[in-house]
Amino acid sequence: MPLWEHYHRPSTVDQAIDNLAHYAGRARILAGGTDLLLEMQQGRTSPVAAVVDITQIQEIRAIEEADGYILIGAGVTHTAITHSALLTQKATSLVESCGVIGGPQVRNVATLGGNVAHALPAGDGTLSLVALAAEAEVAGPQGRAWRPIDSLYVGPGKSALNHTAEMITRFRLKPHAAGEGSAFKRIMRPQGVALPILGLGVWVNVVDGLIAATRIALGPAGPRPLRAAQAEAFLAGKAFSTELLPAVAEQVLADAKLRTSPHRATAEYRTELILPLLARALPLAVRRATTGHVTPEGIGEG
């Protein structure tokens, strides 16, 4: 049996929503297909009557800055994100996280929307969106609404989206202002499953040498991308120094629910990684915040 019987390629969001509605629960949005098609092929998702290919919809393929926000279309590929000078400067960690996804052929077609909708707690793009406090615009039969990124996650691989009726159209986030910086780091293993052992996105705002605010996103450290709230609170108001890192790591651990995933990582190992990951990402983000100099690291080296 074919994985899908009908292929649609709408050119507007409304058409896409109509297409979904037409199949009443038996159609799925198809973006890059790098998650969906493999899941169907390997039997983890059932075949569908139709796929609605959204890659032709111009509206969801743009990256722009407007009204104090950066807007990123859900259909923007990881390659486009990685190449964007705007995002490099003003949403650095997103560029770093999308730059390590898959290889170039995957990044050339895989989208940020797909990464979020796939809802893995360690989706690399997702973690940065959480650290950057992004929101997603979701379109459905009832129209469009902005929702916080975290609210889209129900559990591992489970999105709050109605996959057969809704689609994400855009993301928005506040660009880094003076004194703000971000970074993304992850640890992989060379064997087996191509999922990160642990990923970490951080955003900081440094005012007069003191940390005014931070956001730390970690995954997989629970059923959904984790915000390390205690660590964020701990850092607030402190002057950053690397000596703080062990204490920050402890605070992160207080929130994180680290698990053993067979053939990927033990909980014990993940626990050990919090500190080195923080040591790689946090000082970098602080440096970027204080100097304003940004050179993304690790692009294409995932």
Measured from the CB atom, the residue of 88 and 205 that comes closer to another protein is 88
- Touching ligand FAD, residues 78-107 (CB under 6 A): 100-102, 106
Q: Which residues pair with 200 in a beta bridge?
A: 185, 218
Asked if residue 301 binds another protein (CB under 8 A), the reply is yes
How near is the Cβ of 17 to another protein at its closest, in Å?
20
Q: How far apart are CA 290 and CA 142, in angstroms?
A: 44
- Touching ligand FAD, residues 147-166 (CB under 6 A): 161, 163
Q: How far apart are CA 215 and CA 228, in angstroms?
A: 8
For residue 299, which of 129, 130, 92 has the smallest C-alpha distance? 92
CB atoms under 10 Å from CB of 58, counted, come to: 10
**Angle (deg, nearest 10), helices 245-255 and 267-291:** 120
Q: Contact at 8 Å (CB) between 170 and 72?
A: yes
Q: Residue for token digits 């999105």?
A: 159
- Touching another protein, residues 7-66 (CB under 8 A): 7, 9, 30, 33-34, 37-38, 41-42, 51, 53, 55
Site size with another protein, rule: CB under 8 A: 48
Interface pick for ligand FAD out of 4, 40, 94, 124 (rule CB under 6 A): 124
- Per partner kind, with CB cut-offs from 5 to 8 A, the member of ligand FAD, another protein, none near residue 105 is another protein
Q: Which residues bind ligand FAD (CB under 6 A)?
A: 28-36, 38, 54, 74, 100-102, 106, 110-111, 113-115, 117-118, 123-124, 161, 163, 167-168, 194, 302
